[in-house]
């Protein structure tokens, strides 16, 4: 059955995933960039955008997946990352960029999608986004 114009996507309506941010690759330096030296990339906008827009600029030798470096990704907060990953194609490994946070990137129809799980902060907000995943495709 196809989704109707007025219906939210299945990820929201049936799976209970919550919008967190959209990551947009750029080649243009932006005001307020934060350098993530270990990933050789810059991020900006997440903490100031009322819409959850995060700009990402990558150094040439950045280890982040080429798909994430070229294609915008949408990120959702999930209650159970392991359950959310069942049957999905994983891009890279599940990681924990900071205490209480687990992150994974999946691919759906060629689009990168980030899933975030916050322990002890169900449905909560974070102040800074975790970094995108390094490249490596696997299926769960």
Instruction: Note the pTM of the prediction, 2 decimals.
Output: 0.83
Examine the pLDDT at 140 and tell me if it is beyond 50.
yes
Q: b/e for 24-62, b at 16 or more Cβ within 10 A?
A: ebeeeeeeebeebeebebbbbbbeeeeebebbbbbeeeb
CATH number, residue 66: 3.10.180.10
For the purposes of burial, counting CB atoms within 10 Å of the CB of 20, is it exposed (0-12), middle (13-18) or buried (19 or more)?
Answer: buried
Q: Average pLDDT of the chain? A: 88
Is residue 104 situated within a structural domain? yes
Domain around 48 = 10-139
Q: Is residue 2 assigned to a domain?
A: no
- Find residue 116's DSSP bridge partners: 77, 103
* 30-87 residue pLDDT tens: 999 999 888 899 999 999 999 999 999 999 999 899 999 999 999 999 999 999 999 9
> Which pLDDT value is given to residue 126?
43
């Amino acid at each position: 059955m196809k989704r109707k114009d007025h219906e939210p996507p299945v990820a929201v309506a049936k799976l209970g995933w919550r919008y967190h941010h959209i990551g947009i690759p750029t080649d243009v330096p932006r005001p307020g960039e934060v350098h993530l030296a270990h990933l050789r990339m810059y991020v900006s906008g997440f903490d100031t955008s009322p819409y959850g827009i995060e700009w990402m600029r990558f150094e040439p030798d950045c280890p982040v997946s080429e798909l994430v470096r070229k294609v915008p990704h949408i990120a959702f907060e999930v209650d159970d990352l392991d359950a959310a990953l069942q049957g999905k194609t994983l891009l890279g490994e599940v990681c924990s960029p900071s205490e209480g946070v687990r992150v994974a990137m999946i691919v759906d129809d060629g689009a990168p999608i980030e899933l975030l799980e916050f322990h002890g902060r169900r449905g909560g907000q974070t102040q800074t986004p975790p970094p995108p995943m390094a490249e490596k495709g696997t299926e769960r």
